[in-house]
Chains A and B, each alone.
Chain A
Amino acid sequence: MDTNGGAAVKVVPVRHVGQWIGLAFLALFVSMLVHTIFSKISSGVTSCHKVAGIKTCHAVMTWRFGWNSIFHYFTDGLVLKGLIVTLELTVYAMVIGIVLGVLVAVMRLSHNRLLSGAAWTYTWAFRGTPVLVQILLWGNIAFLYPKLAIGIPFTHLYLVHFGANSVFTLFSAAVTALGLNEGAYFSEIVRSGLIAVDEGQSEAAMSLGMSRGQTLRLVVLPQALRVIIPPTGNEVISMLKTTSLVSVIAVVDLLGAVTNIYNQTFQIMPMLIMASLWYLIISTILSIGQFYLERRFAKGALRTPPLTPIQRIRQDLRGIASKYRTKRGIQAGVTP
Chain B
Amino acid sequence: MVEAIGVRKSYVGVEVLKGVTLSVARGEVSCLIGPSGSGKSTLLRCINHLEKHDSGELLVDGELVGYELRGDKLYELTDRRICDERSQIGMVFQRFNLFQNLNVLENITVAPIKVKGVGDAQAKKFARELLVRVGLEGKEKNYPTQLSGGQQQRVAIARALAMEPKLMLFDEPTSALDPELVGEVLDVMKDLARSGMTMMVVTHEMGFAKEVADTVYFLDQGVIEESGDPKTVLTSPSSPRLQSFLSKVL
> Is B truly associated with A?
yes
A218–B114 touching, CB < 8 Å: yes
B98 located at the interface, meaning its Cβ lies under 8 Å from any Cβ of chain A in the complex? yes
Q: Which residues of B contact A (CB under 8 A)?
A: 48, 50, 79-80, 83-84, 86-91, 93, 95, 97-101, 110-111, 114-116, 143, 145, 156, 159-160, 163
Which listed segment binds B: A18-26, A196-204, A273-281, A286-294? A196-204
Assess the B163–A208 pair: CB atoms within 8 A: yes
Within 8 A of B (CB), among A206-223: 206-212, 214, 218-219, 222-223
Q: Are the C-beta atoms of A203 and B115 separated by less than 8 Å?
A: no
Given A209-B163, A214-B115; A200-B50 close (CB under 8 Å)? no
Question: Which 8 A-B pairs rank lowest in CB-CB distance, beginning with the nearest?
Answer: A209-B87, A204-B97, A208-B111, A200-B97, A207-B91, A222-B101, A209-B115, A209-B86
Chain B contacts for A222, CB-based, 8 A? 101
9 pairs across A/B with beta carbons < 8 Å?
A: A203-B50, A204-B97, A206-B83, A207-B93, A207-B160, A208-B159, A210-B83, A210-B114, A219-B99
Q: Is the CB of B87 within 8 A of A204?
A: no
A26 → chain B, closest Cβ, in Å? 44
Tell me if B84 and A209 are in contact (CB < 8 A).
Answer: yes
Whether the Cβ atoms of B101 and A219 lie closer than 8 Å is: yes
- The answer to whether B83 touches A223, judged by C-beta atoms less than 8 angstroms apart, is no
Given A201-B100, A214-B114, A218-B110, A207 contacting B143 (CB threshold 8 A): no
Contacts of A214 in B (CB 8 A): 114-115
Which residues on the B side are within 8 Å of A204 (C-beta)?
91, 93, 97-99, 156
A203 to B114, CA, bound (A): 16
Query: Once bound together, how far apart are the Cα atoms of A273 and B88, in whole Å?
Result: 67
B116 contact set on A, CB distance < 8 A: 209
- Least Cβ–Cβ distance between B50 and chain A, in angstroms: 6
Closest residue on chain A to residue B87 by CB atoms: A209
Docked Cα-Cα span, A214 to B88, in Å, equals 17
Q: Which residue of A lies closest to B99 (CB)?
A: A219
Q: Which B residue sits closest to A207, measured CB to CB? A: B91
CA distance A207 to B85 in the complex (A): 9
Minimal Cβ-Cβ distance residue in A for B113:
A218
Give the CA-CA distance A205 to B84 in the complex, in Å.
13
Residue of B nearest to A205 (CB): B99
- How many residues on the A side are at the interface (Cβ–Cβ under 8 A)? 19
Chain A binding surface SS class: helix
Interface string of A108-142 (1 = CB under 8 A from B): 00000000000000000000000000000000000
What's the nearest-Cβ distance from chain A to residue B203, in Å?
A: 18
Contact of A209 among B99, B100, B111 (CB under 8 A): B111
Give Cα A165 to B48, complex, Å.
57
With a cutoff of 8 Å between Cβ atoms, the chain A residues found around residue B83 in the complex are: 206, 209-211
- Which of A208, A218, A223 lies at the interface centre, i.e. has the most chain B CB atoms within 10 A of its CB? A208
Which residues of chain A have C-beta atoms less than 8 A from B48's C-beta? 207
User: In the complex the two chains form, is A300's CB within 8 Å of B97's CB?
Assistant: no
Known contacts being A200-B93, A201-B100, is A208 close to B79, with CB within 8 Å? no
Chain A window 212-256, contacts with chain B (Cβ cutoff 8 Å), 1 for yes, 0 for no: 101000110011000000000000000000000000000000000
Q: Tell me the bound Cα distance from A204 to B157 in angstroms.
A: 12
Query: Cβ of A210: which chain B residues have Cβ within 8 Å of it?
Result: 83, 111, 114-115
- Minimum C-beta distance from B200 to chain A (A): 13
If the complex has contacts A204-B98, A208-B160, are A300 and B145 also in contact, measured as CB distance less than 8 A?
yes
Contacts of A209 in B (CB 8 A): 83-84, 86-88, 111, 115-116, 163
Q: How far, in whole Å, are A204 and B98 apart by their CA atoms in the complex?
A: 8
Contact residues in B for A219 (Cβ distance below 8 Å): 99, 101
Contact A208 B115 (CB under 8 A): yes
Chain A residues within an 8 Å CB radius of B88: 209
Chain B residues with CB below 8 A from A218, complex form: 99, 110, 114
Report Cα–Cα, A200/B153, bound state, in Å: 14
Task: Using A200-B93, A208-B115 as known contacts, list a sample of 11 further A-B pairs with CB atoms less than 8 Å apart, ordered by residue number in A.
Answer: A201-B97, A203-B97, A204-B97, A207-B90, A208-B163, A210-B83, A210-B111, A212-B79, A218-B99, A218-B110, A300-B143
- Which residues in A have their C-beta under 8 angstroms from that of B93? 200, 203-204, 207
Q: How far is the CA of A210 from the CA of B115 in the complex (A)?
A: 6
Q: How far is the CB of A52 from chain B (nearest CB, A)?
A: 85
Q: A201-B100, A211-B79, A223-B100 are in contact. Are A206 and B163 (CB under 8 A)?
A: no
B residues near A206, Cβ cutoff 8 Å: 50, 83, 86
* Minimal Cβ-Cβ distance residue in B for A111: B79
Q: How far is the CA of A48 from the CA of B143 in the complex (A)?
A: 80
User: A207 — which chain B residues lie within 8 A by C-beta?
Assistant: 48, 50, 86, 89-91, 93, 160
Contacts of A201 in B (CB 8 A): 97, 99-100
B165, chain A: closest CB distance, angstroms: 9
Cβ–Cβ < 8 Å partners of B163 in chain A:
208-209
Give the CA-CA distance A218 to B110 in the complex, in Å.
9
Instruction: State in angstroms the CA–CA spacing of A218 and B111 once bound together.
Output: 10
CB-CB under 8 A from B80, the residues of chain A are 211
Chain A residues in 8 Å Cβ range of B159: 208
